[in-house]
């Protein structure tokens, strides 16, 4: 059985916020929209959108998980 990425079909809306920063509204099918904020420029927000789309297409998560074993 092939599992699809849970964010497949997400749509994105760029927001210009009052403080001069930018945000992205991410709407994922069958979920409440979420807003990702604190992008200093429109270019950074658009780069995040592209990275998110690429991660979904590859079946990956954007979160970087690093586990360090304590000695």
**pLDDT tens digits, 13-66:** 999 999 999 999 999 888 899 999 999 999 999 999 999 998 888 876 555 555
**Residue 51 forms part of a structural domain:** yes
Residue 70 lies in a domain: no
Is residue 2 a part of any domain in this protein? no
Q: What's the whole-model pTM score?
A: 0.74
Instruction: With a cut of 70, say whether residue 3 has pLDDT above it.
Output: no
- State how beta strands 11-16 and 34-39 pair: unpaired
Q: Decide: 14 and 22 in contact? Cβ < 8 Å.
A: yes
Domain count, the chain: 1
Write down the pLDDT at residue 62.
54
* Residue 49 placed within a domain: yes
- The verdict on residue 44 lying in a domain is yes
Q: Is 68 helix (H, G, I), strand (E, B) or coil?
A: coil
Q: Higher-confidence residue: 11 or 70? A: 11
Domain span holding position 41: 11-58
């Amino acid at each position: 059985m092939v599992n699809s990425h849970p964010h497949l079909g997400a749509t994105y809306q760029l927001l210009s916020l009052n403080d001069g920063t930018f945000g992205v509204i991410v709407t994922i099918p069958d979920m409440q929209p979420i807003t990702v904020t604190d992008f200093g420029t429109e270019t950074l927000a658009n780069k995040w959108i592209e990275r998110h789309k690429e991660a979904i297409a590859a079946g990956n998560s954007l979160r970087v998980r690093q586990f360090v074993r304590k000695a």
